[in-house]
Structure 1
Amino acid sequence: MESMENANAEKHYKLLVVAIIIGIFGVFIRFAGDENSAYFSWIANAALLIGTLIALKAVFAIMK
């Protein structure tokens, strides 16, 4: 039963929500930014990468 309690811990799902918000921010910046600006592309790529890493961390913590 210990594994089930770990999977249902609220902290994992809060971490997933944060990861999703960061990912949505990255997608928004990618499409809302000026097409000629490389800075928006860099920021969008970084946000998507960070969001993905946080989401993977949360998913693997749930599976653990």
Structure 2
Amino acid sequence: MESTQNANSEQHYKILVLAIAIGITGVFIRFAGDENSTYFSWIANLLLILGVAIGLRTVFRIIK
């Protein structure tokens, strides 16, 4: 597959949208959750880290 065709692959952008949705969900839980609950904080942090990791991995695949 040619580099340009790989960068324009629809699959990359679907994964990016998913990563952004996961990250936004993490941010929403951080602010919507109870401030005294450590569970909401852990879940929010994990979702945010997961969204960033998936997003960066996909961007680096597009660049490659």
TM-score bracket relative to the smaller structure? over 0.9
Shift of 1:22: 0.1
Q: Give the structure 1 partner of residue 46 of structure 2.
A: 46
Shift of 1:15: 0.5
Q: Give the structure 2 partner of residue 22 of structure 1.
A: 22
Identity %: 69
- Calculate the TM-score normalised by the size of structure 2: 0.97
- The CA RMSD measured in Å over matched residues stands at 1.0
- Calculate the TM-score normalised by the size of structure 1: 0.97
Residue identity in the other structure for 1:16 = L
d(CA) in 1 for partners of 2:57, 2:14: 12
Number of paired residues? 64
Q: Which runs of 5+ in 2 are unaligned?
A: none
Runs of 4+ in structure 1 over 4 Å off: none
